[in-house]
């Protein structure tokens, strides 16, 4: 025991030496004016003098030299350097970003020049990352500090720093400011013409995009927070729609595209919306992908994946690996997205139908997603968004989803209890990804344990329901009883809660300390940057929080018994001191003085008495009222306490890793179960939605018609209900009896645009597996939805409103099939009336003769009705207003009726809008003259 104890004394002495190796003998022996010092026989406190290199004149301090090197290496990034309890900005970055981040910029004098500095406490990192990455769209390189190895005398600075990760909008993992209800995709886009047209110097040829109007494009996107990994082959015409559907947070392009500004890929990307990065294209084999994936790429993916997809995936994996620096990447096997299995919604339709955001303010509120969202879990909401943006075209799959919704509607108690349980669940997908990327902790395991309890309850509820529809879902459940038992037996939940509370309290204390420091102290690098530690912080701080139960294994049982014995010895020694010196002598631990006795005495009598009782004690510092004494009994006991605690921490870490490894061994089953919970979340949410809003189950078939009775627009209806108003429903029978083209005329504000949108929205809801806002709906499967509604300039690409309108119209006419659903509103209005009428006529004729898609075409050009009277697949409908001739007032009835409305009542609408009377009188006079001529 004595040999073991002496060994630990040597180890801790070496640790003490290492922690103060930066001080020379002169510094250590320099006496404070307030205290007397004696030299303790603990060996050399610094490197031999011959190993210390003389400092050159005008040389920057070591920290600032490291910062300069890292800023040069990561030139495209904002460098945040960890210095003690703070993260710092230096040089020009401090000048530029300090005021933006509301940080005070201070100056630090060096032998070179004054250096600008700004900083913030480490626990506020997420807050400032949000501003830098999410709001300002900056790349941020995190430079963390580590203790320099004991045998490294290249610098007197005890810390070295290195960049551990580069954070961009698309490479977030577990940051607190991430939106848990949205996927966080980073996407690589590789264009085939760039690959094919690279000259010998590695640059792309000029005007490479002019020879082919529709270029194959490889897409690959992943979410580091969940491990999802996808790829798809697209083309230059559909790229904008793919981006609108996927909505990546960051787009990675081939660096060779930086030399051109006239490529179709660049034209499809609004850099005001998307964060764009550039990197070198990679052309890896699937075998090279394996080191980034949970398992190797399977044969079916390799068969379906195109060469351009593989290049996009390779480029993306390379880029993410560079950004993560030394972090471990562990992604799910890639999934090939096939366009045959889902309804395509073009970019204009995604925007015009307000699927993810409202038109007016581009916000979630007012969108279709907001109107139908009843999901209660984060991962369920992400799945809901995916299905909304990419509805299925598989009737069997759609009916499977609808069956689940119907069961949930008919089982009120089952639905209510499942939703109550799901509200308490944790995000398994993101927990697993943190564990796979070696960023997880005991709190994540606790979250999984909570989910296991919920799974058990839900399985019991599904069994009691005894439904044939629910049986496949029930059979697919994994109970994970072994994992649940292991985590429950090992983790001390109460201790974890206490530990989290103490961590939050520690952050508050550091924040309070930092506010007491002057601004100059906040930006000075090195030891001054570390928050001063109070003596009392370490007083009697031996009762650590143990996150693993002491009874979990024999090793922990033995170590905890030992520490109980040592703590008892500590209490006995302190009691002896209290009895002898009336609480004026306390056992303490201080980082610089190790274990010592602190004596409060106004004279030397108590100190002399103490030395007589403990003759082996050594006084190493005194003041007028205190003395600090090294007591061998306390030093030995303290070191043994420290070593035992260290062994417990090591054993807990080992146990924790075993549990994590055991969990990860079943991560496939865990993800399967998480997917089932997401499915239940959406099914019960759609059931609640159907009951609340009186939706009905749609019938899906392979016909080319819509039969929608009493259809409603869910967004508009929700807005009207908030105002205590009623929505006017309408029927839509487009495609019935071969009448696949409907021409709608009528006044503004009478509901034409709403009618167009609501039928497209009903189609989307039906094919994503939801009940729909109609009393009855029978819908032939739609392969694509196209929309030409509204007006908007694209000033970024120097495109006028009319140019945007014509480009969107051209895309529809080139891509719509007989199974598509097209809505077009006032095509041709951006030019003269004569030209507009001609363009509208040409578009309608092409839709009738070539596309033959189900089309709702709204216009004020009632002359078109006469032009298509002979077409068998053409039919006219209209809206109108109800005029009270006595009061000369009118109201909208919002009903769609068969026929043509020859009057648009534009002047009446203008009057309601508040145009001056003189304007209205002049307009009416001209209208009368035109009518009589």
Top mean pLDDT of 94-98, 498-502, 503-507 is at 94-98
CATH 3.20.20.450 correct for 185-337: no
pLDDT given for residue 532 in this prediction: 42
Q: Where in 207-300 does DSSP place strands (E)?
A: 216-223, 228-235, 250-254, 275-279
Cβ within 8 Å of residue 279, ≥6 positions away: 252, 253, 254, 255, 315, 318, 319, 322
Q: What is the DSSP letter of 799?
A: B
Alpha helices in 491-631 (DSSP H): 493-516, 519-523, 554-581, 605-613
pLDDT given for residue 726 in this prediction: 92
pLDDT given for residue 19 in this prediction: 42
User: Rounded to whole angstroms, how far apart are CA atoms 740 and 251?
Assistant: 39
CA distances, 647 to each of 229, 538, 545, 570, 851 (Å) = 41, 20, 14, 19, 75
User: Rounded to whole angstroms, how far apart are CA atoms 354 and 367?
Assistant: 5
Q: What is the DSSP letter of 208?
A: T
Residue with more model confidence, 80 or 40: 80
Cβ within 8 Å of residue 117, ≥6 positions away: 88, 89, 90, 94, 105, 106, 107, 108, 523, 524, 525
User: Rounded to whole angstroms, how far apart are CA atoms 843 and 148?
Assistant: 72
Check if the beta carbon of residue 837 is closer than 8 Å to that of residue 745. no
Lowest mean pLDDT among 416-425, 757-766, 785-794: 785-794
Check if the beta carbon of residue 744 is closer than 8 Å to that of residue 865. no
pLDDT given for residue 198 in this prediction: 59
Backbone angles phi, psi at 626, to 5 degrees: -140, 165
User: Rounded to whole angstroms, how far apart are CA atoms 318 and 283?
Assistant: 10
Query: How far, rounded to the nearest angstrom, does the alpha carbon of residue 451 sit from its chain's CA centroid?
Result: 22
Confidence grade of residue 675 (pLDDT, cut at 50, 70, 90): very high
Q: Produce one character per residue of 630-665: b if its CB has 16 or more CB atoms within 10 Å, e if not.
A: bbebbbbbbbbbbbbbebbeebbeebbeebbeebbe
CATH topology of domain 694-902: Rossmann fold (3.40.50)
Region 802-826: mean pLDDT is 92
Residue with more model confidence, 533 or 157: 157
Task: Give helix then strand counts, H and E, for the chain.
Answer: 33, 30
pLDDT given for residue 511 in this prediction: 65
Lowest mean pLDDT among 556-560, 602-606, 831-835, 913-917: 602-606
The CATH number of 373-480+666-692, from 3.30.870.10, 2.40.50.140, 1.10.1420.10, 1.10.490.10, is 1.10.1420.10
Q: What is the pTM of this model?
A: 0.85
User: Rounded to whole angstroms, how far apart are CA atoms 389 and 343?
Assistant: 9
Cβ within 8 Å of residue 99, ≥6 positions away: 105
CA distances, 14 to each of 11, 41, 52, 150, 413 (Å) = 5, 12, 20, 9, 66
Residues of the chain with CATH 3.40.1170.10: 62-167
Q: Produce one character per residue of 102-124: b if its CB has 16 or more CB atoms within 10 Å, e if not.
A: ebebbebeeeeeebbbbbbbbbe
The CATH number of 62-167, from 3.40.1170.10, 3.20.20.70, 1.10.3720.10, 3.30.1330.100, is 3.40.1170.10
Confidence grade of residue 617 (pLDDT, cut at 50, 70, 90): confident
Residue 493 has pLDDT above 50, yes or no: yes
User: Rounded to whole angstroms, how far apart are CA atoms 255 and 87?
Assistant: 31
Residue 411 has pLDDT above 80, yes or no: yes
Confidence grade of residue 39 (pLDDT, cut at 50, 70, 90): very low
> Which DSSP string corresponds to 682-705?
HHHHHHHHHHHHT-B--EEES-S-
What is the percent of the chain with per-residue pLDDT over 90, rounded to a whole number? 57
- Provide Rg for the chain, Cα atoms: 36
Check if the beta carbon of residue 572 is closer than 8 Å to that of residue 633. no
3-state DSSP helix/strand/coil % of the chain, to nearest 5: 50, 20, 35
Lowest mean pLDDT among 66-80, 199-213, 349-363, 853-867: 199-213
Residue 49 has pLDDT above 50, yes or no: no
> Which DSSP string corresponds to 320-337?
HHHHHTTS---BPPPEEP
Residues of the chain with CATH 3.40.50.300: 694-902
């Amino acid at each position: 025991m004595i040999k073991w104890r002496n060994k630990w004394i040597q180890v801790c002495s070496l640790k003490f030496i290492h922690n103060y190796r930066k001080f020379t003998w002169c510094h250590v022996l320099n006496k404070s004016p307030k205290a007397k010092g004696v030299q303790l026989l603990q060996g050399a406190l610094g490197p031999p003098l011959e190993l210390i290199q003389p400092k050159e004149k005008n040389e920057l301090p070591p920290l600032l030299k490291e910062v300069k090197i890292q800023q040069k290496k990561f030139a495209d990034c904002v460098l945040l350097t960890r210095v003690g309890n703070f993260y710092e900005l230096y040089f020009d970055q401090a000048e530029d970003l300090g005021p933006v981040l509301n940080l005070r910029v201070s100056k630090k004098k060096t032998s070179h020049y004054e250096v600008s500095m700004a900083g913030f406490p480490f626990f506020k990192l997420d807050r400032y990352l949000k501003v830098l990455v999410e709001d300002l769209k900056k790349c941020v390189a995190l430079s963390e500090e580590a203790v320099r190895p004991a045998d490294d005398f290249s610098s007197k600075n005890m810390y070295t720093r290195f960049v551990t990760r580069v954070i961009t909008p698309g490479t977030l993992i577990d940051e607190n400011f991430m939106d848990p209800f949205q996927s966080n995709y980073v996407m690589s886009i590789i264009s085939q013409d760039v690959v094919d047209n690279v000259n010998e110097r590695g640059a792309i040829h000029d005007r490479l995009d002019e020879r082919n109007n529709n270029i194959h494009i490889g897409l690959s996107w992943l979410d580091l927070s969940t491990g999802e990994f996808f790829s798809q082959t697209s083309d230059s015409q559909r790229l904008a729609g793919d981006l609108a559907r996927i909505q990546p947070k960051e787009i990675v392009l081939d660096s060779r595209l930086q030399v051109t500004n006239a490529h179709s890929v660049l034209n499809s990307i609004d850099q005001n919306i998307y964060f764009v990065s550039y990197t070198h294209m990679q052309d890896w084999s699937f075998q090279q992908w394996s080191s980034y994936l949970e398992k190797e790429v399977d044969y079916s993916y390799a068969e379906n994946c195109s060469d351009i997809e593989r290049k996009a995936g390779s480029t993306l994996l390379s880029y993410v690996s560079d950004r993560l620096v030394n972090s471990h990447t562990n992604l799910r096997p890639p999934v090939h997205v096939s366009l045959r299995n889902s309804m395509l919604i073009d970019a204009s339709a995604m925007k015009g139908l307000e699927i993810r955001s409202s038109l007016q303010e581009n916000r979630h509120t007012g969108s279709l997603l907001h109107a139908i969202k009843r999901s209660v879990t984060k991962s369920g909401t992400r799945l809901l968004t995916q299905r909304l943006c990419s509805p299925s075209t598989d009737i069997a799959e759609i009916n499977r989803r609808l069956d689940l919704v119907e069961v949930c509607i008919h089982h009120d108690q089952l639905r209510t209890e499942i939703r109550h349980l799901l509200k308490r669940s944790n995000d398994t997908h993101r927990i697993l990804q943190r564990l796979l990327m070696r960023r997880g902790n005991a709190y994540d395991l606790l979250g999984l344990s909570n989910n296991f309890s919920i799974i058990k309850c839900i399985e019991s509820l599904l069994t009691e329901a005894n439904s044939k529809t629910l049986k496949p879902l029930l059979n697919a459940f994994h109970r994970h009883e072994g994992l649940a038992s292991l985590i429950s037996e090992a983790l001390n939940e109460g201790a974890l809660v206490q530990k989290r509370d103490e961590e939050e309290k520690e952050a508050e204390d550091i924040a309070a300390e930092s506010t007491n420091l002057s601004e100059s102290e906040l930006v000075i690098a090195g030891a001054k940057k570390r928050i001063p530690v109070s003596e009392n912080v370490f007083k009697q701080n031996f009762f650590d929080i143990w996150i693993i139960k002491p009874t979990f294994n024999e090793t922990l049982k033995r170590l905890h018994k030992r520490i109980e014995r040592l703590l008892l010895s500590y209490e006995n020694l302190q009691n002896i001191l209290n009895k002898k010196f009336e609480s004026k002598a306390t056992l303490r631990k201080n980082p610089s003085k190790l274990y010592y006795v602190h004596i409060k005495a106004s004279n030397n009598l108590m100190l002399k008495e103490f030395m007589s009782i403990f003759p082996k004690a050594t006084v190493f510092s005194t003041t007028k009222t205190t003395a600090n004494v090294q007591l061998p009994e306390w030093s030995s006991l303290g070191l043994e306490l420290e070593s035992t605690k260290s062994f417990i921490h090591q054993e807990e870490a080992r146990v924790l890793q075993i549990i994590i490894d055991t969990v990860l061994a079943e991560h496939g089953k865990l993800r399967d179960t998480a997917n089932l919970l997401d499915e239940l979340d959406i099914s019960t949410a759609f059931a609640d939605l159907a009951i609340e809003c009186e939706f009905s189950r749609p019938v899906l078939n392979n016909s080319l018609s819509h039969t929608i009775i009493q259809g409603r627009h869910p967004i508009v209806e929700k807005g009207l209900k908030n105002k205590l108003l009623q929505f006017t429903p309408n029927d839509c029978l487009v495609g019935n009896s071969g009448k696949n083209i409907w021409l709608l005329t009528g006044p503004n504000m009478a509901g034409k645009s709403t009618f167009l949108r609501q039928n497209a929205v009903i189609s989307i809801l039906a094919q994503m597996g939801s009940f729909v806002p109609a009393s009855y709906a029978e819908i032939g499967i739609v392969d694509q939805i196209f929309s030409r509604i509204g007006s908007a300039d694209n000033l970024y690409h120097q495109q006028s409103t009319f140019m945007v309108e014509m480009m969107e119209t051209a895309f529809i006419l080139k891509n719509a099939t007989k199974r598509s659903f097209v809505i077009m509103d006032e095509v041709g209005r951006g030019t003269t009336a004569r030209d507009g009428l001609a363009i509208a006529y040409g578009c309608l004729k092409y839709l009738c003769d070539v596309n033959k898609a189900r089309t709702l075409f709204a216009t004020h050009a009632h002359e078109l009705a006469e032009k298509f009277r002979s077409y068998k697949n053409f039919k006219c409908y209209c809206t109108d207003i109800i005029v009270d001739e006595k009061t000369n007032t009118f109201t909208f009835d919002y009903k769609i009726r068969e026929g043509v409305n020859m009057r648009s009542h534009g002047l009446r609408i203008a009057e309601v809008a508040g145009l001056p009377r003189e304007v209205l009188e002049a307009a009416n006079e001209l209208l009368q003259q035109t009518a009589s001529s």
